[in-house]
Structure 1
Amino acid sequence: MILRVWKFMGALLLVLVLSVLALIWYGYSLGDSYASAAFATSKSNPKTQNASMPSSAEILERGAYLVRVGDCMACHTTRGGAAYAGGRVMQSEFGQFVTPNITFDQKTGIGEWSAEDFWNALHNGKAKDGRLLYPSFPFVNYTHVSREDADAMYAYLQSQPTVVQKNGDHNLAFPYNQRPALALWRAMYFRPGALNYQSQQSTEWNRGAYLVRGLAHCSACHSTRNSIGANQGSADFSGGEMAQIHWHAPSLQSTNELNLPNWSEQEITQLLVRGNNSKSVVAGPMAEVVQQSLQYLSDPDVRAIAIYLRALPQQTQSAPDLIDRAIARPTVSKEQMLQIMERGEKIYKAQCIDCHGKGGEGVAGIYPALKGNLSLQATSLTNPIRLILAGGFAPATRLNTRPYSMPPFAPVLDDTEVATVLTYIRNAWGNKGDAVTPSEVNPYRTAPLD
């Protein structure tokens, strides 16, 4: 027992020492570049500004747009609470993160922050007092945001109503609550800096990369995380399970999940700004993103995102966490599958056929097609099970003000029936997917709704 304690204490001491060394190295190796970058991009003296400089109104308008693209309100506003006052609890496998107040109240918000401090938070992941921020704040993506855009966002937030609201501290398990250890994490997984312009690509592609990898922080959800919450950077779109909220963020680079090169630019732009298209409808966390953020994208920006996403290199394998799950899934005999399909067809005809059609064709722009739907045939069962049990609620957007939604079937179908009808859908009309078991359905009955 004593030996195990000493081993634990030795390991903890080693982590702390490495963290301190990483912090020292990180500060010395990057501090000069931070300062020079900030100096080079700082605002000009007002006395030297000329007529070509944007007006205050233009800066505020641009800032409002950028804050929406970054979806800042989603995290920094509790349901029914004051805008940007923070307090939203973000569940994770490491514990609970509580979002801060980013209104300009001097005591409980960021009222004492300068534009330089705000830039430092986005670009370097550091608070005004030098504290290292947890990567639950996606500074891995925001580091790509230009100083000009950061200043516009700062100006807009500064113009918003001040809210006095002191929020609680993070509630994290040990050792994740040891903030100095973040220095080691950052030394391993974070390098601040702007994206290099790719001259071999179009201007639209480069703009799309800036938005997708930067301000829109798509990799924050659409990536696979390791045991300490790190992915492969802002260009990691491998997809992954959002375990604590029980949703799956599909890979943007897999031919087995979305296969985006087979989507047209129009189909991608429609999904992002309407919330639906002829192939799909967004639901869950993505519905919130579309409703609060993406629907307000300008036409050039949403087209740039579509161009960039369609150009992403594709692969056929699933994310590592899904491969493990696929290996563990039991197989069924041909005779058993025939019986499941017969029972599943009866349930489908009783519950699903009116909306999704006899052949799973759906209704374009209203009810998504099930035939050929890769999301339903993918290794991860998280989203289709959630949708059947809790329903699918598309976002109301400017271009789709009265969306159609799917009712919850948890009160109507038991675990076996859900597994049976989902297996039928995954294998009818030319679809191909593994059989679903009732034990895979049951955990989602008690899953949180957000």
Structure 2
Amino acid sequence: MRFTRILAAVLILILIVAVGFFALAWRSEIKPVAAADPSSFSEDLVQQGARLAAVGNCIACHTVPGQPAFAGGLALPTPFGTIHSTNITPDPETGIGNWSEEAFQRAMREGVNREGRHLYPAFPYDHYTRVTDEDNRALYAFLMTREPVRSTPPENDLPFPYNLRPILAGWKLLFLDKGPFQPDTAQSEEWNRGAYLAEGLGHCGACHTPRNRFGAVESDRHFGGGEAEGWQAYAINANSPAPIPWDTDSLAFYLRNGWHQWHGVSRGPMAEVTGNLGLLPDSDIVAIATYVASVMGEPDEARRARAEELMAQAAEGPGEVQAAPAVDTQAGAGNPQDRGALIYASACAGCHNGSKPQPFGGLRFSLSTAVNAPNPQNIVNVVLFGLPPSDGQASAVMPAFANVLSDQDVADLLAHMREQYSDAPAWENLVDLVARTRSGEYKVVILPADGIERGPENVGASDGAEE
């Protein structure tokens, strides 16, 4: 009898928890609407939406290279499995053509689609919740005036229990901080504009902040560095590994042009960012730079002095900069450092110790964040896969060495570069990292120099949101 009562109590408790979780997870469907007439949106509103979509880099995730823009289907690798981006063209059957503005606002604010299904936070609604209703309205107008594309993305490849969307309600309860952006009255209007763009649609922290085991950004390590699509997103706070500290001017130039003379060219997912920011006015670029520079803070005297020394060396010309050392080829055959120096002299020095300036010349490695970073993943990626050129315009380019150098060759080369061009400690397990990267076990996305994903029928017309 006692056992029966205990069992009944447990079952009742389970039922109460299940009912409570269902109430937490359930979201109502928002009724479909007739496809919006593109002419119902003003041109100014659509253009505002285009600029905002560029800030959000929407086209990058929602376009498969070579396929129509915003039609979705791009595979997004995550620690929990592969998610495929959704079709956000105004097609009423496979896209969001039957979404009302109310449904779009809810997706941006709460991460719930029109049908009431929770969206995976690969769509960064934990940042988009800060976007104003007015800006969401402009984004909606922009997307509803794109070319409708009938295209159904592949199903997500997620193991149990991650394939159960209701569990996302629990994730949101723990990690989703709802509510619009709140200006800091102690800061300038320019700073607040930059914070709004960077923390909201720009979702800089989605890549540049570490994530916990549940895939949520660690707010106590804001801008402390993270990972995106096989690339390291460097720390952009006081822990930035850049040999030359960033400031507002250098950040603004980099975001506008995709390169800077003391920092090199953008690559990987960051190339997408700088490529898409071309639609923004200079005032917004400077605002973002102002905010990020304030998070980085002022460098201390020792770091400032070292930066001035490095810039002075670079200004002296190629003959005065650390060059690849002369190596006895017989002795170098078995010594990793000497082997690395030989490889550097033959494969790298011609560009990186030359006199050709950025963005077309190779950055001096004494100035390279990749060589000075705690994690060598980015420099491994560039050595193996190079920097593909952008479409139809002059751009930075670097050959890929994956078919020329062995895993040990690359490891020796990078060990030499770390020793010669950085005061940081040696990297460990380089051969294993190179092998994993080359094999595809560690998935790396390689993009053209300008980073922009283009749909063949939407070039120039689109730059736009959901997962």
Give the letter aligned to residue 234 of structure 2.
P
Query: What is residue 411 of structure 1 aligned with on the other side?
Result: 403
Displacement of 1:395: 5.0
Give the Cα–Cα distance (whole angstroms) in 1 for the partners of residues 401 and 153 of structure 2. 37
Displacement of 1:256: 4.7
Query: What is residue 236 of structure 1 aligned with on the other side?
Result: 222
Q: Assess, with a 3 A threshold, how the Cα gap between structure 1 residues 83 and 127 changes in structure 2: closer, same or farther.
A: same
Give the letter aligned to residue 383 of structure 1.
N
121-130 vs 436-445, which moves further: 436-445
Query: What is residue 364 of structure 2 aligned with on the other side?
Result: 369
Q: Report SS of the residue matched to 2:256.
A: helix
Which of 266, 269, 272 aligns to 1:288? It is 272
Give the Cα–Cα distance (whole angstroms) in 2 for the partners of residues 102 and 58 of structure 1. 21
Q: Do the aligned residues in 1 keep the contact of 2:372 with 2:422 (CA within 8 Å)?
A: no
Displacement of 1:435: 4.3
Q: Assess, with a 3 A threshold, how the Cα gap between structure 1 residues 23 and 138 changes in structure 2: closer, same or farther.
A: farther
Q: Report SS of the residue matched to 2:49.
A: helix
Give the letter aligned to residue 431 of structure 2.
P
Displacement of 1:424: 1.2
Query: What is residue 251 of structure 1 aligned with on the other side?
Result: 235
Give the Cα–Cα distance (whole angstroms) in 1 for the partners of residues 273 and 156 of structure 2. 24
Query: What is residue 274 of structure 1 aligned with on the other side?
Result: 257
Give the Cα–Cα distance (whole angstroms) in 2 for the partners of residues 248 and 19 of structure 1. 40
- Aligned ranges 1:164-243 → 2 under 5 Å: 164-233=150-219, 236-242=222-228
Q: Report SS of the residue matched to 2:69.
A: coil
Q: Do the aligned residues in 1 keep the contact of 2:359 with 2:395 (CA within 8 Å)?
A: no
Q: Is 1:99 the counterpart of 2:85 in the alignment?
A: yes
Q: Deviations over 1:345-375 (max 9, x none)?
A: 22211111110107xx873433222014232
Displacement of 1:17: 7.1
Identical positions, percent? 34
Q: Where has structure 1 moved over 4 Å in runs of 4 or more? A: 16-20, 25-28, 313-316, 394-397
Query: What is residue 346 of structure 1 aligned with on the other side?
Result: 342
Q: Is 1:443 the counterpart of 2:436 in the alignment?
A: yes
Displacement of 1:237: 1.7
The CA RMSD measured in Å over matched residues stands at: 3.1
Which of 259, 263, 267 aligns to 2:246? It is 263
Query: What is residue 327 of structure 1 aligned with on the other side?
Result: none
Give the letter aligned to residue 271 of structure 1.
Y
Give the letter aligned to residue 410 of structure 2.
V
Q: Assess, with a 3 A threshold, how the Cα gap between structure 1 residues 180 and 17 changes in structure 2: closer, same or farther.
A: farther
Q: Do the aligned residues in 2 keep the contact of 1:103 with 1:109 (CA within 8 Å)?
A: yes
Query: What is residue 90 of structure 1 aligned with on the other side?
Result: 76
Q: Report SS of the residue matched to 1:311.
A: helix
Query: What is residue 110 of structure 1 aligned with on the other side?
Result: 96
Q: Which has the higher contact order (CA 8 A, sep 6+)?
A: 2
Q: Assess, with a 3 A threshold, how the Cα gap between structure 1 residues 267 and 396 changes in structure 2: closer, same or farther.
A: farther
Query: What is residue 80 of structure 1 aligned with on the other side?
Result: 66
Query: What is residue 322 of structure 1 aligned with on the other side?
Result: none
Q: Assess, with a 3 A threshold, how the Cα gap between structure 1 residues 280 and 362 changes in structure 2: closer, same or farther.
A: same
Q: Do the aligned residues in 2 keep the contact of 1:273 with 1:294 (CA within 8 Å)?
A: yes
Q: Report SS of the residue matched to 1:177.
A: coil
Structure 2: which 5+ runs fail to align? 1-9, 29-39, 300-331, 446-467
Query: What is residue 295 of structure 2 aligned with on the other side?
Result: 312
Q: Deviations over 1:148-179 (max 9, x none)?
A: 01001111211122122222322211110111
Q: Do the aligned residues in 2 keep the contact of 1:250 with 1:257 (CA within 8 Å)?
A: yes
Give the Cα–Cα distance (whole angstroms) in 1 for the partners of residues 381 and 210 of structure 2. 20
Give the Cα–Cα distance (whole angstroms) in 1 for the partners of residues 96 and 104 of structure 2. 9
Give the letter aligned to residue 248 of structure 1.
Q
Query: What is residue 420 of structure 2 aligned with on the other side?
Result: 428
Give the Cα–Cα distance (whole angstroms) in 2 for the partners of residues 66 and 209 of structure 1. 14
**Aligned residues between the structures:** 385
Q: Do the aligned residues in 2 keep the contact of 1:86 with 1:101 (CA within 8 Å)?
A: yes
Q: Do the aligned residues in 1 keep the contact of 2:259 with 2:358 (CA within 8 Å)?
A: no
Query: What is residue 281 of structure 2 aligned with on the other side?
Result: 298
Q: Is 1:392 the counterpart of 2:387 in the alignment?
A: yes
Give the Cα–Cα distance (whole angstroms) in 1 for the partners of residues 234 and 290 of structure 2. 18
Q: Do the aligned residues in 2 keep the contact of 1:22 with 1:187 (CA within 8 Å)?
A: no
Give the Cα–Cα distance (whole angstroms) in 2 for the partners of residues 175 and 158 of structure 1. 34
Please give the TM-score of this superposition, normalised by the length of structure 1. Answer: 0.78
Give the Cα–Cα distance (whole angstroms) in 1 for the partners of residues 91 and 168 of structure 2. 27
Give the letter aligned to residue 217 of structure 2.
N
Q: Do the aligned residues in 1 keep the contact of 2:371 with 2:421 (CA within 8 Å)?
A: no
Give the Cα–Cα distance (whole angstroms) in 1 for the partners of residues 139 and 132 of structure 2. 11
Query: What is residue 322 of structure 2 aligned with on the other side?
Result: none
Q: Report SS of the residue matched to 2:76.
A: strand
Give the Cα–Cα distance (whole angstroms) in 1 for the partners of residues 298 and 144 of structure 2. 44
Displacement of 1:135: 0.6
Q: Assess, with a 3 A threshold, how the Cα gap between structure 1 residues 130 and 364 changes in structure 2: closer, same or farther.
A: same
Q: Assess, with a 3 A threshold, how the Cα gap between structure 1 residues 404 and 106 changes in structure 2: closer, same or farther.
A: closer
Q: Do the aligned residues in 2 keep the contact of 1:87 with 1:101 (CA within 8 Å)?
A: yes
Give the Cα–Cα distance (whole angstroms) in 1 for the partners of residues 251 and 69 of structure 2. 29
Q: Do the aligned residues in 1 keep the contact of 2:231 with 2:268 (CA within 8 Å)?
A: yes
